[in-house]
Amino acid sequence: MIAGVKRSTESLLFATGPFVVLRQTRGAEIRALINKLRPLDCGFDLIRIGGNGDGGYLVPNDLEGIEYCFSPGVSVIANFENQLADRKIHSFLADYSVEAPPIDRPEFTFEKKFLGASDGERFITLSSWKNKYLKDYGKDLLLQMDIESSEYAVVLSTPEELLDQFRIMIIEFHSLEKMFDPFAFNLISSTFDKLLNLFHVVHIHPNNFSGQFRRGDLVVPRNMEFTLLNKKRVRSTKPQLRFPHPLDVDNVPRRTLVLPKCWYSGSTRD
């Protein structure tokens, strides 16, 4: 989703537009991170949920048994959650910046709060949110998160025990070009390292609304949608080399932005 939740707490680090880096992250560190994030075919076909364009995502065809989705960041569309509801999956949605989801369905439960790293008047943590509605629920969950750079703080502040309860995660990571800044790189790499303890990346889709950043042979789309599958569900692993996927669709009607080869083909050069 493009019109998502804006976070003042990340405004200095993840502000849009040009940025100045006095000292840059070593290329070898960025290459090592990209290599760890290469998508894997984990034995499930990918299906598209949410329709064409922004708000549609590719997910492993492994939804059977999932009853609930947590979906922070509400925009003017809710096609993803709407199609989940057609599959009998209930969605919990949260966003302080809107009064209600754009679609009214009994399968939706809305929380007028931002998802964040601490609880407060306008914020709620993922742990508190889950405990409010599903305190003793121990089955697999689904997460679809597009919260405009707050995803880093949310992942880092969420206990691994709760993260591990999600079978599938679809997270749009923002401001990835900031990984060339050493301070931001530490935050970004720590976030991904925590997720990679529990999940494999199975798909990456660049958001063509935001463009990409290039330094030498390193090409980093600014915003990308990552689909992750819990390692407990993996049937097998082999490199995923088909990009764009036949089901990938541009987020907005402008120049197509495909995943750069350095993110999936071979290994980046030192």
Has residue 6 been placed in a domain?
no
Q: Give the pLDDT score at 242.
A: 92
Are 123 and 113 a contacting pair, CB within 8 Å? yes
Among left, alpha and beta (phi > 0; psi -120 to 50; other), residue 80 is alpha
Residue 270 located in a structural domain: no
Query: Buried b vs exposed e over 105-115: b needs ≥16 C-beta within 10 Å?
Result: eebbbbbebbb
The CATH number for 59's domain is: 3.40.50
Q: Is residue 36 part of a domain?
A: yes
Q: Which two tokens stand for residue 195?
A: 């997720």
In a domain, 1, yes or no: no
Residue 216's domain spans which residues?
A: 22-263
Asked if residue 238 is part of any domain, the answer here is: yes
Decide: 75 and 2 in contact? Cβ < 8 Å: yes
Amino acid at 135: K
Would you state the pLDDT for residue 1? 45
pLDDT at 7: 44
Mean pLDDT of each 10-residue bin along the chain, 270 residues long: 40 48 86 97 98 93 98 92 98 96 96 97 98 98 97 98 98 97 97 98 96 94 98 97 96 93 71
Instruction: Say if CB 221 and CB 206 are below 8 A apart.
Output: yes
Note whether residue 198 is domain-resident.
yes
DSSP character string of 216-250: TTEEEESSEEEEEEEGGG----EE----S-TT---
**Six-digit token string for 191:** 């976030």
Does residue 12 belong to any structural domain of this protein? no
Closest alpha carbon to 202 in 57, 38, 72, 19 = 38
Beta strand 212-215 with 224-230 is unpaired
Tokens for 112? 């007028």
State the Cα–Cα distance between residues 89 and 94, nearest whole angstrom: 16
- Domain presence at residue 27: yes
Name the CA dihedral angle for 14, 264, 167, 245, rounded to a multiple of 10 degrees.
Answer: 100
Rounded CA-CA distance 133/172 in Å is 24
pLDDT at position 3, please?
39
Q: How many domains does the chain have?
A: 1
3-state helix, strand, coil in the chain (%, to 5): 25, 25, 50
